[in-house]
Amino acid sequence: MADQAALRAIVSGLVQGVMFRAFVSRHASVLGISGFTRNLPDGTVEVIAEGNRRDLETLVEKLKQGPPHAIVENVAVVWSDYTGKHAGFTIRY
């Protein structure tokens, strides 16, 4: 499907301990995006997401904003082909 895509985003800044993963999960679910988010040991948050490219672009804009107590310094996004291997959107611990 030409309008389907996938991405991996690494969000840096003050993004752990500020409900960032819950924020991502909530927005991804509303947008109908599948995948997961998790904290990485270096203090960043990883987002793996698949869905409609327009919805993914909307999610990336949300990642740049973050929840109220977050300070997002950078969102590095790598786009790839849709695989369909994720069911729903989860928070990994």
Catalytic residue ranges: 21, 39
- Three-state secondary structure of 6-52: EEEEEEEEECCCCCHHHHHHHHHHHHCCEEEEEECCCCCEEEEEEEE
Cα distance between residue 68 and residue 5, in whole Å? 28
